[in-house]
Amino acid sequence: MYELNQTIITKKAHACGCNEWTIIRIGADYKIKCNQCGRIILLESEKLNKMVKKIKE
- Report the interface residues with Zn ion, using CB under 5 A: 14, 16, 18, 34, 36-37, 39
- Rounded CA-CA distance 48/28 in Å is 12
Nearer to Zn ion, 1 or 12 (CB): 12
**Whose Cβ is closer to Zn ion: residue 14's or residue 31's?**
14
Nearer to Zn ion among residue 9 and residue 18 (C-beta): 18
Give the N- to C-terminal CA distance of the chain in Å, as an integer. Answer: 13
- Least distance in Å: CB of 18 to Zn ion? 5
